[in-house]
């Protein structure tokens, strides 16, 4: 599928989810169960899809109008120095995230939040750490 067509689909889907979420927020006076959170999730996902889609549409139109700038953008994105800088920034952000996420879990557990929420956060934290170990061993064997 063409990248521009998929961007338009994301934009329309995002607007639809955003409108549907806002409608359900206003339509139900006293929602129960899953309907308490679902409209807000739809609004959030709709905003993300709309933002991603419209950003890609604007980028594609700008690249059509200025082919020289599009070529320079492609070179900049694939430049080895820029890739090394981006990977180094990701590594620093990951290092900071592990400490912040651990401190957040500790703080929330001391505040006495619901056990299910705490276990979900711990499970997500462990998935991140296990994936880190997996890729570390994988890349260690490759290099």
DSSP 124-136: HHHHHHHHHHHHH
| Residues 91, 29 within the same domain | no
Helix/strand/coil for 141: helix
| Residues 88, 23 within the same domain | no
The structure tokens listed for 86 are 């981006």
User: Running DSSP on this structure, what letter comes out for residue 35?
Assistant: G
Range of the domain at 132: 79-142
The model's pLDDT over 2-26, given as tens digits with 9 standing for 90+, comes to: 877 889 999 999 999 999 999 999 9
Domains contained in the chain, number: 2
pLDDT of 62: 87
| Residues 65, 9 within the same domain | yes
Q: Which residues of the chain have pLDDT under 70?
A: 1
pLDDT of 82: 85
Contact assessment for residue 118 and residue 105, using Cβ atoms and an 8 Å cutoff: yes
| Residues 67, 87 within the same domain | no
The structure tokens listed for 24 are 């359900």
Question: Could you give the CA distance from residue 74 to residue 59 in angstroms, rounded to a whole number?
Answer: 12
Supply the mean pLDDT for the chain.
90
pLDDT of 33: 80
| Residues 54, 14 within the same domain | yes
pLDDT of 103: 95
């Amino acid at each position: 599928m063409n990248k521009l067509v998929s961007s338009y689909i994301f934009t329309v889907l995002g607007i639809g989810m955003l409108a549907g979420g806002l409608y359900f927020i206003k339509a139900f006076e006293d929602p129960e169960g899953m309907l308490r959170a679902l409209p807000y999730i739809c609004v959030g996902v709709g905003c993300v899809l709309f933002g991603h889609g419209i950003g890609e549409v604007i980028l594609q139109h700008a690249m059509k109008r200025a082919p020289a700038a599009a070529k320079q953008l492609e070179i900049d994105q694939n430049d080895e120095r820029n890739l090394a800088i981006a990977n180094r920034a990701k590594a620093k952000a990951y290092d900071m995230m592990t400490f912040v996420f651990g401190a957040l879990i500790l703080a929330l557990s001391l505040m006495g939040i619901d056990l299910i929420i705490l276990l979900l956060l711990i499970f997500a934290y462990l998935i991140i750490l296990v994936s880190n170990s997996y890729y570390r061993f994988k890349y260690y064997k490759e290099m």
